[in-house]
């Protein structure tokens, strides 16, 4: 429903005719007062524009085979592309548990000062990771 209302965009990964995973991106913001020092460094005292990874899921049969990492890289690439068009400072995720948190930390995501399960990665760091 959110996608039809232009509130979110979902991307699907497949193998042949089989859906093996998907992710959903949503544009949002973080209140200046709730953001980490690194997130607001050099910015005015306004809300910080971000891309939120609202969902990331891999079919159980495909977990542990790099599908989630591939989907995450694709989401990061799309975030950089969006940041080239409109200001986006960081890419955010809300990890559902310790396992998910560790997955994102493997990609250098940093925890928020307000919630250790809310993690972020600056767009400039994504550019370095992606070689863009």
Q: How far apart are CA 72 and CA 92, in angstroms?
A: 12
- Helices and strands: H and E segment counts in the chain: 4, 6
CA 97 to chain centroid:
16
Angle at 56 between CA 29 and CA 31, to 5 degrees: 15
Q: How far apart are CA 114 and CA 21, in angstroms?
A: 30
Active site residue 104: yes
Among left, alpha and beta (phi > 0; psi -120 to 50; other), residue 9 is beta
Query: Of the residues 11, 22, 32, 104, which is catalytic?
Result: 104
Residues annotated as catalytic are 104
């Amino acid at each position: 429903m959110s996608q039809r209302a232009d509130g979110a965009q979902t991307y699907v990964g497949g193998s042949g005719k089989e859906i093996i995973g998907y992710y959903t991106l949503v544009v949002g913001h973080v209140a200046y007062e709730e953001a980490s020092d690194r997130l607001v460094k050099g910015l005015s005292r306004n809300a910080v524009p971000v891309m939120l990874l609202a969902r990331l899921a891999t079919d159980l049969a495909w977990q542990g085979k790099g599908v989630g990492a591939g989907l995450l890289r694709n989401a990061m690439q799309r975030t950089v592309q969006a940041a080239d068009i409109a200001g986006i400072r960081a890419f955010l995720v809300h990890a559902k548990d310790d396992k998910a948190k560790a997955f994102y930390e493997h990609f250098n995501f940093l925890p928020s000062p307000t919630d250790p399960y809310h993690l972020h990665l600056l767009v400039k760091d994504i550019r370095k990771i992606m070689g863009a």
